[in-house]
Amino acid sequence: MRTGERNTAGDASTAARFAALLAAFGPGDTALGVSELARRTGLPKTSVHRLSQHLTEHGLLERDGTALRLGLRLFEIGQLAVRQRGLVDTARPLLADLREATHNTVHLAVLEGTEVVYLDILRGPDAPRLPSRIGGRFPAHATGVGKAILAFSPDDVVEKVIAGGLPRVSRRTITSPVLLRRQLAKVAAEATAYEREESSIGTVCVASPVVDATGYAVAAISVAGWVNRLRTERLAPAVRTAALALSRTV
Amino acid sequence: MRTGERNTAGDASTAARFAALLAAFGPGDTALGVSELARRTGLPKTSVHRLSQHLTEHGLLERDGTALRLGLRLFEIGQLAVRQRGLVDTARPLLADLREATHNTVHLAVLEGTEVVYLDILRGPDAPRLPSRIGGRFPAHATGVGKAILAFSPDDVVEKVIAGGLPRVSRRTITSPVLLRRQLAKVAAEATAYEREESSIGTVCVASPVVDATGYAVAAISVAGWVNRLRTERLAPAVRTAALALSRTV
DNA sequence: CGGATGCGTACCGGTGAGCGGAACACGGCG
DNA sequence: CGCCGTGTTCCGCTCACCGGTACGCATCCG
């Protein structure tokens, strides 16, 4: 199953059912039927039917014939969710400049659990097809932004990531805890994280953390591009500068 | 009240409560307390407390101290919601070109009920501060994109908008049903809608509908800028062309 | 042509999850 | 000090949710 969710059976709270229903939709799905949703959520088909009816009444789900889609209202609410953080709005111009200057793809991401979530992405004109997606997730230890954030996070956050098993994403993903720790120490010293084909073969990335007043990271920005075209060391100062500028406004 | 919701009391469905809770957050709100949410939703404080607990457990809400924010997961799901439509992804490059060519702000929007929802916005370099916001709403009859969509929609859709009372947004908003109908007829003939300070004094806009195989509009794109700097007639062909290109891919 | 298998949908009685009033702990403010 | 206004806990009642069963309708196949 693409959207491999752990079975939430046992947690019978109504909220859990709603959340499970919304989470059942994965990228790539356009519209799902009642039975498919029942299969993915582990809920009885009847319940899915009723729940989706209710959700549809409030715009959180939409019907396309008999199939179900995520509702437009979710998009609206989702935009408010990031807007509350303010980050995206203030970062936009900075990211745009960075893209202009580097002609590559620029990322803004935050950490959630053991993964990063991309808040904004500006694709470069001659950029590779990266696996990143606005609103998408990626294992933190396998990305530049992730390592930048982790290096400026409390220990227990890093421990949790390591405890997660450092899943291999590409052939070059760092899967050794000791190696990761060593890298993070270096990142912490330089305030710059590099990533070389660890998330996707053929691409590299240079990232820098956005920190708050306490010195802990709240986000990170990065520039990514082709491995043989992008000179990461050369771009590091630009990325670092943008991250610092953003840190000042947070 | 900014987020003037009609009182949903009477609809006691649990889903209604969840939806009301999420809808209680408006743009400009960063974090709300239990009491404030209870006030806005009309729900008992106790219920808000319990519901928000449940939602928090599933990442749909987040706690900042004792206050509540919309959760990051809502952003993720919201992105999937638009992605399912495919529109945004395919439109992006076209919109980028349009911005490049016009140096003004470009909009992509769809109609929902009597309002348009902005799916994507690319701000121009020397653009005015428009009231539009990604994920934001605006009365359809007061915007270029709205009129473009309405002109290519079934009659009952237009009727519903008119029945909504054509609220005045700016000094120049069209509030007369007969005038609106006459304009829409012209828009339908030219496949191009103009808007002159009807949503915001000082700005104008030229829009064109994105239509599906049946000929009905599914979205619209527009270019907006300063009233005294933007020659709408001159930009019309560019907007029209982009809209046609997008229509072909839908 | 059965009939087998998938789908979405409707019916309906039992029951426990959600409900919300009352009461409490805290923390400014006058 | 009392007096707001918070957020939070407790607890018994009840009604809305639950989900097994059943049905109409497609599609596929022997």
Give the pair of three-digit tokens for residue A39: 């299969």
Do the Cβ atoms of A25 and B74 come within 8 Å?
A: no
Taking CA atoms, what residue in B is nearest to A26?
Answer: B80
CATH architecture of residue range(s) A85-249: 2-Layer Sandwich (3.30)
Provide, as residue numbers in chain B, all residues whose Cβ is less than 8 Å from the Cβ of A23: 73, 77
Can you give the distance from the CA of residue B124 to the C1' of nucleotide D2 in angstroms?
58
d(CA B42, CA A128) in angstroms, rounded, equals 50
Residue range B14-77 in CATH 3.40.50.1370: no
- Contact at 8 Å (CB) between A26 and A36? no
- N- to C-terminal Cα distance for chain B? 39
Interval A5-45: pLDDT, tens: 333 333 457 888 899 999 999 888 888 989 999 989 888 88
Do the Cβ atoms of B59 and A14 come within 8 Å?
A: no
pLDDT value at position B142?
96
Per-residue pLDDT for B140 more than 80?
Answer: yes
Tell me the three-class secondary structure of B182-230, residue by residue. Answer: HHHHHHHHHCCEEEECCCCCCEEEEEEEEECCCCCEEEEEEEEEECCCC
The residue ranking higher by pLDDT, B139 or A124, is B139
pLDDT value at position B31?
87
d(CA B107, CA B87) in angstroms, rounded, equals 13
Q: What is the residue-averaged pLDDT of chain B?
A: 89
SS3 for B21?
helix
d(CA B59, CA B68) in angstroms, rounded, equals 11
> What is the mean predicted confidence (pLDDT) over B157-184?
95
Q: Report the b/e string of A191-224 with b at 16+ CB within 10 A.
A: bbbbbeebbbeebbbbbbbbbeeeeebbbbbbbb
The enclosing H or E element of B106 equals strand B105-112
Q: Domain map of chain B by residue range?
A: 14-77, 85-249
Do the Cβ atoms of B80 and A51 come within 8 Å?
A: no
- Contact at 8 Å (CB) between A121 and A105? yes
Interval A82-124: pLDDT, tens: 887 788 889 999 999 999 899 999 999 999 999 999 999 998 8
> What is the mean predicted confidence (pLDDT) over A137-141?
96
Q: Phi-psi bin for B166: left (phi > 0), alpha (psi -120 to 50), beta?
A: left
pLDDT value at position B7?
34
Give the pair of three-digit tokens for residue B60: 């749909």
SS3 for A221?
strand
d(CA A219, CA A140) in angstroms, rounded, equals 12
d(CA A205, CA A125) in angstroms, rounded, equals 16
- Contact at 8 Å (CB) between B200 and B224? no
Q: Strand C: list positions under 7 Å from protein Cβ.
A: 6-11, 17-22
Nucleotide nearest to B18 (CA to C1'): C18
pLDDT value at position B33?
87
Give the CA-trace dihedral at A86, A89, A93, A95, to 10 degrees.
Answer: 70
The helix-helix angle for B45-57 and B14-23 (nearest 10°) equals: 90
CA distance B137 to chain A (A): 8
DSSP B231: -
Nearest to B118 by CA among B128, B106, B102, B127: B106
Burial-class residue B72 by CB neighbours within 10 Å (0-12, 13-18, 19+).
buried
Dihedral sign (CA B55, B58, B62, B66): positive
Task: Give the phi and the psi of residue B164 in degrees, each rounded to 5.
Answer: -70, -10
Interval B38-88: pLDDT, tens: 888 888 888 898 899 889 989 899 988 889 999 999 999 999 998 877 889
pLDDT value at position A1?
33
- Contact at 8 Å (CB) between B198 and B169? yes
Taking CA atoms, what residue in B is nearest to A133?
Answer: B79
